[in-house]
Amino acid sequence: MNINDFRFDGSKPFKVNEFNTKQEGNFKKRSEAEDLRDNHINDLQGLQEKLYAEGKEGVLIIFQAMDAAGKDGSVKYVMSGVNPAGVSVHNFKVPSSEELAHDYLWRAMKVAPQRGMITIFNRSYYEDVLVVKVHNLHKKTSLPERVLTDDIFNDRYEQIKNYEKHLHENGFRIIKIFLNISKQEQKKQFLQRIDDPSKNWKFSDGDIVERGYWDKYMHAYEDAINATATKDCPWYVVPSDKKWFARALIAEIVVSTLESINPQYPEVSEERKLKLKEFRDILMSEE
Ligand code: ATP
Residue 79 in this model has a pLDDT that exceeds 90: no
Whether residue 81 is predicted with pLDDT greater than 90 in this model: the reply is no
Residue whose CA is closest, atom 5 of ligand 1? Answer: 93
Give the C-alpha distances (Å, rounded to integers) separating 209 from 109, 183, 214, 260: 30, 13, 10, 41
Q: Count Cβ atoms below 10 Å from residue 70 Cβ, excluding itself.
A: 22
Other Cβ atoms within 10 Å of 182 Cβ, number? 18
What pLDDT is recorded for position 110? Answer: 97
Main-chain dihedrals φ then ψ at residue 34, nearest 5 degrees: -70, -35
Nearest CA to ligand 1 atom 8: 93
- In angstroms, the CA 189 to CA 183 distance is 10
The band of 1, judged by pLDDT with boundaries at 50, 70 and 90, is confident
CA angle 264, 177, 18 (to 5 degrees): 135
pTM (two decimals): 0.95
Q: Is the pLDDT of residue 77 over 90?
A: no
Between the CA of 258 and the centroid of ligand 1 the distance, in Å, is: 29
Q: What one-letter code names the amino acid at 139?
A: K
Residues contacting 260, CB < 8 A, separation 6+? 173
- Average pLDDT of the chain to the nearest whole number: 96
Q: Is the pLDDT of residue 219 over 90?
A: yes
Confidence at residue 244, expressed as pLDDT on a 0 to 100 scale = 94
Q: Alpha helices of 170-263 — where are they, by DSSP H?
A: 183-195, 205-211, 214-228, 243-261
Test site for ligand 1: of 91, 93, 210, 240, most ligand atoms within 8 A of the Cβ: 93
Q: CA–CA separation, 138 vs 149, rounded Å?
A: 11
Model confidence at 80: pLDDT above 90: no
Domains of the chain: 3-285 (3.40.50.300)
Q: Which of 63, 103, 131, 203 to mutate to test the pocket of ligand 1 (most atoms within 8 A of CB)?
A: 131
Instruction: State how far the Cα of 7 lies from the Cα of 258, in Å rounded to an integer.
Output: 16
Confirm or reject: Cβ of 3 under 6 Å from ligand 1: no
94 lines ligand 1 (CB under 6 A): yes
208 lines ligand 1 (CB under 6 A): no
Cα 45 off chain centre by: 18
- Is 239 a pocket residue for ligand 1 (Cβ < 6 Å)? no
Give the pLDDT confidence of 12-67 residue by residue, as tens digits. 999 999 999 999 988 888 999 999 989 999 999 999 999 999 999 999 999 999 99
Mutation probe of ligand 1 site: the residue of 102, 120, 123, 208 with most atoms within 8 A of C-beta: 123
